[in-house]
Amino acid sequence: MQLFKRKPTVQMRADHRTYNVGGYWGDRIEWSPTDQFKTESYVHTVVGWKTPLPRVGDVLEGDFTRGRVRFVFSKVTPAGDPPDMFFGTVACIGYVHELDGKE
């Protein structure tokens, strides 16, 4: 299965932070309810509550079968109220297999 049709135009920042999908109330990132998470798309939307807020170029990782899928934030829009809430757009940048640690 191909994870994305084309490479994202946004790259990871050299000083990127890595965030994980999931978490607990008030400290969580989840897939947006409006995102159908279609496998033919490489762009997906998330909603989250994090301090500090992610920035464009930060990495989002999510568990997948026997490894982790990595995404890069291409857009982050603060919600304003509450101050730690944001909406984001992420693009798939690869898969890291848990056994060998390679992309």
Mind listing the pLDDT tens digit for each residue in 6-37?
555 677 888 899 999 999 988 999 988 765 55
User: Over the stretch 21-78, which tens digit does the pLDDT of each residue have?
Assistant: 999 988 999 988 765 555 556 678 899 999 999 999 999 998 887 888 889 999 999 9
- Nearest alpha-carbon partner for 84 in 55, 46, 60, 50: 50
Is residue 70, in this structure, part of any structural domain at all?
yes
From CA 59, how far away is CA 90, in angstroms rounded? 9
> Whole-model pTM above 0.85?
no
Is residue 103, in this structure, part of any structural domain at all?
no
Is residue 9, in this structure, part of any structural domain at all?
no
Is residue 7, in this structure, part of any structural domain at all?
no
Other CB atoms within 10 Å distance of the CB of residue 28 = 14
Residues 57, 61, 87, CA angle at the centre, nearest 5°? 60
User: 93 lies in which domain range?
Assistant: 18-97
What's residue 34's pLDDT?
63
What's residue 52's pLDDT?
92
Is residue 92, in this structure, part of any structural domain at all?
yes
Number of domains in the chain: 1
